[in-house]
Structure 1
Amino acid sequence: MTVEASSPATPVERTHREKTAALRKHLVLQLLLELVLPLGGYYGLRAAGLNQWLSLVGGALLALPMIGYTLVKQRRVDPLALFTLSLVLLGALTSMVTGDPRLMLVRDSWIFGALGLWVLGSLLTRQPFMRSMARTIVTVKIGAEGHRQWDSRWDTEPAFRRHLRVVTLVWGLGFCLDAVVRVILAYSLPIDSVPLVSTLQWLVVLGGLIAFHIRYVTKHGLKV
């Protein structure tokens, strides 16, 4: 009786449906963390009679349990979530000192403005934003070994590096544009309408960025 030697470890092949399901689960979690909890918390606390400042802070802090869950489950700190939360808390402290709730609303522009500059700055390194972000998305879809094979193209394919930098550039410019629009909205609209309008305009910007992203990565062979 003979036993066949096992083949070298290779990424587990997943069907298109399995990849889509895994990515959808990841995106739903991100939406809960970044959109549903903060926005729903704000309007829920306002409906309960709290003032704008406490409602804004409370809505932002509702994201903490989700960040903790990700930290425990994945055994790593999500730098983007931590970065966003630190700016939210900084905005809360600034608003508490000045007593101006509009500064709390402008905090989102700080977040997206700083994020946009960070994304653009990453173009000068070997780890442009989209290469780093792809680690989570690619790993979710085809596993850690699949990501290692996909990422190894950085060292051998100049076109691969160029395409990742183009996508990074577009996302960075999109975040900076969003930051400017948020400042305009925060100081031109009634306070209670700003969170909703800002969220809607962000969804428009995000939709445009995602549409470009999907089309570009599919056209240039970056999609897994």
Structure 2
Amino acid sequence: MTEPTSTAARDALAWAHSARFLTTAAQLHQLPPSELPEIAFVGRSNAGKSTAINTLAQQRRLAFASKTPGRTQHINLFEVGPRDAPDALLADLPGYGYAAVERAAKLRWQQVMADYLAQRRPLHGVVMLVDSRHGLTPLDRQLLEFVGPRVATGEVKLLVVLTKADKLNRSEQHKAVAAVQPLLDGLATENADIGILLFSALNRQGLDDLALTLHGWASPA
């Protein structure tokens, strides 16, 4: 059972529902220049990233969920906010770590994502989707290393979203958060903005908090 949605959360969800496709790119240099804050969604294949984006936007096919994980190898950008004056861009980065993808493709996308997280100037926040049942994998930790320096300075905000929380009981949920927290504490500085939340697309657990966080990132005033 989820808590009743507050007025602020309803506003944030309405904002998220405005998301619409802008463009797709296979390489960093193909992304359009932008002054809008960019919020990137990253996560291991099968972590539920596309489902989370679609649930947040209340659109069934905004983010493409391939039947073969690891096949979607493009950065997809979505505008959010008024059509004539969008507030932010959502960037859906390819899922990583799927075993069936050939090594060359894995290495190429690992480099593209590393460069994006370390260098992309409009990047304002990163939402890392992690399967709550499995916790952080070595690839997740490596990705945090890529973006960690920018998180530490406060240049980029970080939210770790533990997905599929409906598959855990309350005790297991607490343990899942506790397992991730020490690594996030290691990134923390007085300037860092780091959060963690449990999320379920099935029962909408954490959906309000996710929308509120992203809306706040895009329009901090």
Scaled by the length of structure 1, what TM-score is found? 0.28
Greater strand share, 1 or 2? 2
| Max Rg structure | 1
Greater helix share, 1 or 2? 1
Scaled by the length of structure 2, what TM-score is found? 0.28
